Structure 1
Amino acid sequence: MKTTVKMIGLCAAVLTLGMAAPAFAETTLRIGTVLAPNDPMGQGLEKFKAEVEEATNGEVVVQVFHNSQLGDTTEMIDQARAGANVGTVTDVARLSSFVPSLAIMSAPFLFDTYEQADKFALSEEYLEWGDQLKEESGLVMLASNWYQGPRHVLTQKPISTPADLNGVRMRTIGAPIWIETIRAMGAEPTPIAWGEVYSALQMGNIDAAEAQPTAITGAKLFEVIKHVTKTGHIQLVTALVVSASAWDEISEENQKIVRDLAVENGRHASQLTIDLGEKSLADVEAAGVTVSDVDLAPFKEAVSGVYGLLDLEEEAAIVNKVLGR
């Protein structure tokens, strides 16, 4: 009788343990973006999701939220820092408040090609700054090679020199490198959430904006502006970041898989950006907006002091060294 009772108890314990301990610990990464699903970044995130889940055998699940479903980029970063399971694709300049050197990725007229930005984003020097980011902010940078394209000036009047931007209220990203670049170009920097840009232009709360070609079409800004001037003043190189608390739940083996796929899909999304950029500008022009080239020399001269103003001259020298120029 005692033996039977013991056997029953043992079987019950085994069953209980079996129910309590799954074969693997599943971790979900929730990643949001302010951009539309058909934007190259959105497409890249969906591909990243599928490949991560397959490569980790479902041990890491990625949920993607488009069109500011989780908030504006700054709000998502704040949520992640507070410990929420949230990640996003962000311009690196927003992260410079934690690691000032990171602002160099958004410096004006720094990179001539995506290949240069990709090379620097994987350099030892840059990755060291990425390691500091986790310590200083509670954010983990998975990859910094998600290219969104050249930022151009969107206005209601023709622009040919920085003087034409005098007094123009231009929406930009609320990080010092962006604000000082737009100010140096002659405009009045006005940071507001990306999701509010269309209505702000429509209602006249701002006079202008600056954005990459695919974002102009994705947000339908061609409906509320008259001119696109191809300044390309900043090459928008962005980073995929996640909450450190969610990241630390992932095994080292799976962390390597996720990082490698973040870099690989960053390149995929970036190539989409490059491929779709000219088409986007053609679509904008077809909608009745004037798309113009411009002499960049006056704009480059106007922003040349931004590096010294924000104490980024040493970082610029590091970029030039890595790129061999």
Structure 2
Amino acid sequence: MSLPTSMSRRSFVGTALAGASALAFGPAHAQSAKYRLRYGTAFPATHPGVIRIIEASELIKKQTNGLVDLQVYPNSQLGSEPDMFSQVRSGALDFMSTSGVNQTVVPIGGINAIAFAFESYDQVWSAMDGDLGNHVRGEFAKVGLHVLPKCLDNGYRNITSGAKPIASPDDLKGFKIRVPGNPLWVTLFKTLGAAPTPINFGELYAALQTRIVDGQENPLALIQSAKLYEVQKYIALSGHIWDGHYIFANAARWNGMPADVRDAVTAALSDAALKERQDIQSFNEKAQAEMQASGVTFNKVDTKPFRDALRTAGFYTEWKTKFGADAWGLLEKSVGQL
């Protein structure tokens, strides 16, 4: 997979900051790694969220003259997302990135997944790089997790199916759909009449292949890189949830490193996240074309009937109560009234 080689001004600034911080590490000769760190993710090895983090790990090693060795483990090599999240909380793992599973520990961590909230990326980054994201990161700090300032883009999620296209809420009645194991996703699809079934991502391909579930929902980049299209004939461009992956670190491990090390890691991972965001948009366009060429049928979804069904059923009112008026107000500051 070819990735953009051009560097945005923000990316350049991030890299420059990383270079400046490296001056604190003294003479430019290789050191043995004092800080051996592990980063786990469920993303496949070909996903931009892995490729850019690996680039960042190489930059960190260079900028710290070998003092920091960040090893990246894709494709759930270190366990499922819930397992890795628990490992980071306990200190058994240093870093990981995820979205949905964190809601089981910090409920507000799932507020970005409110269905049909974000109509554009301008709204997404206004919220997630701004007041809403800062609020969420502060809540994670209370449970022993440091969250890096820039999250990865996992893209807008879309519904795939094996037997029929999904075009309206009625098509979801009784539809057994795989979802991440968290309450917001489960409530969303139950409200629309589906039968949500939590399954770990690493087991999803087999579950679709053996028809344990009728379909699933994920961003196009992940559907393509995990080859889910091989066992799903239809993809509905529903864009029902914008999904981002926070980059988590064990707070005790993080705070135990010197400030200059933390600065170098922060600069490199933040720069990687900004580049990955650009990658995802071009990756999605390429992924759709490739999957269409392989025989997958796409359909564009009119989202209004879905949003109206959720509103009538009290979905937004319920989650405003659960997340609290303050957090909900920060969300609506970027997206308007839901």
Instruction: Please classify the TM superposition score into its range, dividing by the shorter chain length.
Output: 0.7 to 0.9
Counterparts of residues 81-92 of structure 1 (less than 5 Å): 81-91=89-99
- Cα shift at 1:252: 1.5
CA contact (8 A) 1:228 1:291 kept: yes
CA shift, 1:294, in A, is: 1.6
Change (3 A) 1:87 1:302: farther
User: Superposed, which structure 2 residues align to 1:24-35 within 5 Å?
Assistant: 26-35=34-43
Q: 1:278: Cα distance to partner?
A: 1.4
Match of 1:239 in 2: 246
Is the contact between residue 150 and residue 274 of structure 2 (CA under 8 Å) also seen in structure 1?
no
Q: 1:116 to 1:246 in 2, by over 3 A?
A: same
Partner of 1:307: 316
Which one of 296, 313, 321 corresponds to residue 333 of structure 2?
321
| Residue 266 of structure 1: aligned partner | 273
- Read off the aligned partner of 1:184 and give its amino acid letter: T
Change (3 A) 1:312 1:226: same
* Cα pair distance change 1:261/1:110, threshold 3 Å: farther
Give 2:86's match in structure 1, choosing from 52, 60, 78: 78
Instruction: Find the partner of 2:107 among 100, 104, 109.
Output: 100
Look up the match of 1:149.
Answer: 155
The one-letter amino acid paired with 1:44 is R
Overall identity of the aligned pairs, in %: 30
Partner of 2:263: 256
Whether the aligned pair in 2 keeps the contact of 1:27 and 1:249 (CA below 8 Å) is no
1:52 corresponds to which of 56, 60, 80: 60
Compared CA separation, residues 224 and 61, structure 1 to 2 (3 A)? same
The structure with the larger Rg is 1
**RMSD between aligned residues:** 2.1
Task: Detail structure 1 runs of 4+ shifted over 4 Å in the superposition.
Answer: 322-325
TM-score (norm 2): 0.83
1:226 matches 2:233: yes
Residue 282 of structure 2 is aligned to residue 279 of structure 1: no
Query: 5+ unaligned residues in a row in structure 1: which ranges?
Result: 1-22
Q: CA deviation at 1:124?
A: 4.1
Aligned equivalent of 1:140, options 132, 140, 146 = 146
Distance in 2 (CA, whole Å) between partners of 1:66 and 1:291 is 28
- What amino acid does structure 1 have at the position aligned with 2:323? L
2:98 counterpart SS class: strand
- How far off its partner does 1:323 sit? 6.3
Deviation at 1:65, TM superposition (A): 0.6
1:134 CA drift (Å): 2.5
- Look up the SS of the partner of 2:97 in the other structure: strand
Over residues 131-189 of structure 1, what are the superposed CA-to-partner deviations in whole Å (9 max), with x where a residue is unaligned?
A: 331222x2211134210111100012122111111111100111111111222233111
| Matched AA of 1:171 | R
Per-residue Cα deviation, 1:221-270 (whole angstroms, up to 9, x for no partner): 11111110000000111111122232122112221232233222111111
Q: Is the 8 A contact 2:117 2:335 kept in 1?
A: no
* 2:149 counterpart SS class: strand
- What stretches of structure 2 of length at least 5 have no aligned partner? 1-30
Q: Find the counterpart in structure 2 of residue 291 from structure 1.
A: 298
